[in-house]
Amino acid sequence: MKRYFITGLLIWVPLGITLWVLNLIIGSMDQTLLLLPRAWRPEAWLGMHLPGLGVVLTLAVILLTGLVTANIIGQRLLLFWESLLGRIPVVKSIYYSVKQVSDTLFSGSGEAFRKVLLVRYPHPDAWSLAFQTHIPGDVVGSLDAEYVGVFIPTTPSPVNGFYFFVKKSDTIELGISVDVALKYIVSMGVVSSPDKHPIVTNSSN
């Protein structure tokens, strides 16, 4: 009986968590429908709530925004909007910080979050997975050796973590992708790579 129960758990737990995450995402995106006038909302002309219509609206808004900002007029509107936000002290700091992160992650340019490293954390005899980021220019001049910026994510939620500056010679670059590293972190090491011996290189080389 115990074996059958565990087998059932192995089937239902991943499926249940997947459905829960999808429901959370769809429910959050459906909130965009509240931006529409009440008479335009699907409930007004369908007489019922259909989950997922907010996803369609969100994707349409994102696509339309990309089309609008792809021309000269759209670029000028974007610059005007950003200059407007840049005049609000607190909003300016939050907006431009998030924008730099999103530009790095979604544009595919730059080296931030492109390399997976091993760093000694939380003590010299332990190693942790980390993603290489950048060091602010005004910090580099205060360091007495070659350092790299690293983000050490927490398990099982990789969106939280620690941002450190470590000596490049004290890091090891792993020959794995960021996606594979995230699987290790989210699964707390339960999910393993088919390649038992990933290529590693010392970042000092």
Average model confidence (pLDDT) for the chain? 82
Cα dist. 194→22, 110, 127, 180 in Å?
28, 29, 21, 11
Is pLDDT at 193 greater than 80 in this prediction? no
Total count of residues recorded for the chain? 205
What is the mean pLDDT of the segment spanning 51-78? 84
Section 14-25 average pLDDT:
85
Q: What is the pLDDT of residues 126-170, one digit of tens each?
A: 999 999 988 887 888 888 889 999 999 988 777 788 999 999 999
Q: What is the pTM assigned to this prediction?
A: 0.55
Binned at pLDDT 50, 70 and 90, residue 41 comes out as confident
